[in-house]
Structure 1
């Protein structure tokens, strides 16, 4: 938007979302590394032994899209486009919901203490950015 001045809170919000995106690259790299890992092939799946790899690939591409959308929406919101906040919140929430689904699907929040720390850090950064970039409410 022309003439819009980014506030300190908006700048911090953008930086937080970008930090969350950068932190998510570690998780994305880990997930992508399992796509070709023979340990993730299982003959017990009716769709074939490579079906788990398909889901890992789909997760990696979905994650990359959600994180990219979050960053783009954060920058647009910080530059005065209040309508970009909802896509920011939706993409960050979707990404984080998937990241935290491990307890329900695998019985653990994360496969290790280190992974849990990455999840917490990514979540704090993304959620801080979403909250800092929330547009002010307009009074009628």
Structure 2
């Protein structure tokens, strides 16, 4: 039996601001923006190529205050290109950091060990790791 992770809730304080950040700055696709019967509104977005989406909403999970999600991780095949795209979109992202053991030999010296980090407007944090191919 397969068990797939398909949605992660990311608590935010301003839904429209967060939607704009994830869609316009990070390039996530807006899957839907739905009012929930007078109880509020949720927005589901999916990173390009991902099988897992995020759901943004105010009051979606009350015990999760805005900015409390730390360490979400995206994987890209080319970290330098991904970082350049984010910088061009105005995202505050760290310089590339090599973490862990010895990088793999050329042509992919950042594989598995290359990361950049960023935060959304509420302080939820993301890591972006380079993995160009999987074993």
> Which TM-score applies when normalising by structure 1?
0.28
Bigger RCO (CA 8 Å, 6+ sep): 1
| Bigger strand fraction | 2
| Bigger helix fraction | 1
When Rg is computed on C-alpha atoms for both structures, the one with the higher figure is 1
